[in-house]
């Protein structure tokens, strides 16, 4: 039980309960700890899941955490965000989206203090094109919308992912909760990058002794 189930204390007290011999506590504890250490050092996984993994079945780590619940928005957000000024006119914005300068589909709009005013997309620019009444108006006058989904630096990545699912937005601005300033931005690719890093760590998982020998050989 100490080696197979990787539960040395449970195995020790289980054996004592069956035998009723308290004098075997120390030898039992030593034996189960050694069994546990052997399985951890020599096997990638516990014996309970090793045979299943060798049959080609997908097995994740026995004890793991959701990376989306573990990480905060500030850890994966893009700090250097491409933005548009709120003083830009609608006509200038349409020309910008029609030019080769644009690299994104959606841009946050900020004021002179760096506070988030709203977001503008290429779809908005298409709706504005040809409307002479809007051409001279500023973006701040047209994109100000309290319904823009935003996150905060201390929010979990899981919250940001749920926000993307509920709103259908693929880019969530991250703002300072007290000042309202734009701190960063999280896109779907940032979530995929986080997931990929944890997946790589899982695939590279090796027994401790084997991993050490491979590092030396390199």
Q: Which residues contact 163 (CB under 8 A, 6 or more apart)?
A: 149, 151, 169, 172
Residue 135 CB neighbour total at 10 angstroms: 16
Backbone angles phi, psi at 182, to 5 degrees: -75, 120
The C-alpha R_g of the chain, in whole angstroms, comes to 28
pLDDT tens across 26-68, in order? 888 898 888 888 877 777 666 667 777 777 665 655 555 678 8
Nearest to 207 by CA among 3, 8, 39, 34: 39
Structural domains of the chain, ranges and CATH numbers in brackets: 1-64 (no CATH), 68-187 (3.10.580.10)
Measured distance CA(88)–CA(129) in Å, rounded: 15
pLDDT tens across 146-164, in order? 678 999 999 999 999 999 9
Measured distance CA(200)–CA(91) in Å, rounded: 46
**Per-residue confidence (pLDDT) for residue 187, from 0 to 100:** 92
Predicted TM-score (pTM) of this structure: 0.62
> In the numeric block, which tokens belong to residue 94?
């349409």
Lowest mean pLDDT segment, chosen from 34-43, 173-182, 185-194, 206-215? 206-215
Measured distance CA(156)–CA(177) in Å, rounded: 14
* pLDDT at 218 > cutoff 50: no
> In the numeric block, which tokens belong to residue 103?
């690299």
């Amino acid at each position: 039980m100490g080696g197979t189930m990787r539960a040395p204390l449970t195995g020790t007290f289980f054996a004592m309960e069956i035998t009723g011999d308290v004098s075997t506590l120390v030898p039992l504890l030593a034996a189960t700890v050694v069994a546990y250490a052997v399985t951890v050092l020599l096997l990638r996984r516990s014996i309970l899941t090793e045979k299943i993994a060798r049959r080609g079945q997908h097995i994740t780590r026995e004890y793991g955490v959701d990376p989306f619940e573990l990480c905060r928005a500030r850890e994966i957000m893009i700090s250097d965000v491409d933005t548009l000024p709120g003083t830009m006119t609608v006509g200038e914005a349409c020309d910008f989206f029609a030019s080769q300068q644009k690299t994104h589909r959606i841009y946050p709009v900020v004021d002179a203090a760096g506070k988030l005013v709203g977001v503008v997309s290429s779809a908005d620019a298409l709706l504005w094109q040809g409307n002479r009444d809007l051409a001279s108006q500023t973006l701040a006058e047209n994109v100000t919308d309290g319904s823009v989904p935003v996150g905060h630096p201390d929010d979990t990545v899981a919250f940001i992912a749920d926000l993307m699912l509920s709103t259908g937005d693929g880019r969530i601005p991250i703002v300072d909760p007290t000042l309202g300033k734009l701190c960063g931005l999280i896109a779907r690719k940032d979530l995929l990058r986080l997931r990929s890093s944890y997946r790589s760590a899982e695939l590279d998982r090796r027994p401790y002794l084997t991993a050490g020998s491979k590092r030396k050989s390199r």
